[in-house]
Amino acid sequence: MSASNVAGSFNVAKFGGTSVANFEAMSRCAAIIENNPNTKLVVSSACSGVTNLLVELANGVQDQGRRQELMNQLTDIHHEILDQLAEPMSVEKEIHTILDNVASAAEAASFQSSAKLTDHLVACGELMSTHLFAQILRERGVSAVRFDIRDVLRTNDAYGKAEPQLEQISQLAQEKLIPLCQEHVVVTQGFIGADDEGNTTTLGRGGSDYSAALIAESVLAAGLEIWTDVPGIYTTDPRIAPKASPIPEISFSEASEMANFGAKILHPSTLVPALRHQIPVFVGSSKEPEKGGTWIRQQVESSPLFRALALRCNQTMVTLRSANMFHAYGFLAKVFEILAKHKISVDLITTSEISVSLTLDQTDTSGGAPELPEVVRKELEELCTVEVEHNLCLVALIGNNMSESKGYAKQVFSTLEDFNLRMICYGASPHNLCFLVHESVSRSAIQKLHQELFEQE
């Protein structure tokens, strides 16, 4: 059977960090794989909590005691799984080799950290979890092999947020991955890749979903399953609004908007490779697979006016004011030229006659609020006054054809009359209305809106 004949005939399943947190969690994932004979390619994250420990080490820990403490935590997480294997010896050596690598890289980072070294370090979580996961499958009688995704997932060398090289990935997957999937269940890593020199790269925070979609695209999978710790996509985060309800199916465009505006389920870019090849994406809970989940498809049966609410915190708003903007040409062009030169990505934007407000996009792995670098601020100040505000959250209402529906804006804004809303953005997409609020009231804004729009039967 040729590789091209089997392309598209199997599923790719991706398991997030909480799904592979420990032996018990990995065993639940193994059962999910056993229950679907079509699943031939498994993409795994690092065990829960591991990436955060590695990021701390990569940032450079001078205190040797603290470094040892972090190393001990990493060792304990992986040994807890090793100790429950029937044949730990088969993977113990590999785990210890990677831990030794982490220790020496962490020491190097304590002298001088770099984006390249950070990628080398943070990739180790996935490299270890896949050794353990593949062994658990083998011990359950599954013909599983571990595959190093760096042999296929080619990227450029933008460490920390590398860009995939699609043609190379597709070609290498046809050569190396598809033939393996004919014979075995293949366990590989999410989040990581390699540049042309063979250096390890990462696709940025949340990149394991993205790499799973890239891999699914490269093998022309029949479906992509993303197993996480929640049973699908909800009308909002159930930890904020306990009456949030699961959404059985949702369109790609709605799910992209949700992800883009902070729904934790999926990374915004995740959907793009699947969308390109119309690969349906399923999101379910590895803890409760029996609860079903959400299918994300190109076309769906129902398109309600209000679909969901998303919240994204750590927002940085920059307001630029200049009297010269009034009836002037080219002011915005100059602003964006400065931002583009320094590779500052802008998310939302609103303008008035003499001012423009914009939010900075969070694109890297650091996790904090995006900053406006001092050098950029100085250049902008030659054009206008610059005000930077932190501690803001973005609330997004996701739905369908809102611009064509009378009265809905009144319903939304009267519900929020006690809140100070900033930077209201609406009209660029038929699928969302969004605005900023202060972090301290963001959860109550979501609760009130959810109650009004989703809980009134």
pLDDT digits (tens, 9 = 90+) for 269-313: 677 898 888 899 999 999 999 989 999 988 898 889 999 999 989
Q: Note the pLDDT of residue 8.
A: 59
Q: Note the pLDDT of residue 141.
A: 97
Which residue ranges are tagged as binding site for substrate?
51, 126
Does residue 245 surpass a pLDDT of 80? yes
The residue that leads in pLDDT, 206 or 218, is 218
Look up residue 229 and give its DSSP letter: S
Look up residue 345 and give its DSSP letter: P
pLDDT digits (tens, 9 = 90+) for 64-83: 999 999 999 999 999 999 99
What integer is the mean pLDDT of 88-117?
96
Q: What percent of the chain has pLDDT over 90?
A: 73
What integer is the mean pLDDT of 403-423?
90
What length is written for the chain?
A: 457
Q: Measured between alpha carbons, how far is 22 from 132 in angstroms, rounded to an integer?
A: 10
Q: Measured between alpha carbons, how far is 75 from 455 in angstroms, rounded to an integer?
A: 46
Q: Note the pLDDT of residue 345.
A: 86
What integer is the mean pLDDT of 24-40?
97
Q: Where are the domains of the chain?
A: 11-228, 307-455
Which residue ranges are tagged as binding site for ATP?
14-17, 228-229, 234, 239
> What mean pLDDT value characterizes the chain?
91
Alpha-carbon separation of residue 259 from 117, 284, 308, 309 (angstroms): 29, 16, 11, 11
Which residue ranges are tagged as binding site?
14-17, 51, 126, 228-229, 234, 239
Considering the entire predicted model, what is its pTM? 0.79
Q: Note the pLDDT of residue 262.
A: 74
Is CATH 3.40.1160.10 correct for 11-228?
A: yes
Does residue 4 surpass a pLDDT of 50? no
* 307-455: CATH architecture: 2-Layer Sandwich (3.30)
Q: Cβ atoms within 10 A of the Cβ of 165, count? A: 17
Angle between the 124-139 and 23-35 helix axes, to the nearest 10 degrees? Answer: 60
CA neighbours within 13 Å on the CB side: how many for 442? 24
Q: Note the pLDDT of residue 363.
A: 59
Confidence of residue 2 (pLDDT cuts 50, 70, 90): very low
3-state secondary structure of 360: strand
Q: Note the pLDDT of residue 457.
A: 62
What integer is the mean pLDDT of 124-143?
98
Does residue 109 surpass a pLDDT of 50? yes
Task: Name every residue whose Cβ is closer than 8 Å to that of residue 91 and which is 6 or more positions away in sequence.
Answer: 82, 85, 131, 132, 134, 135
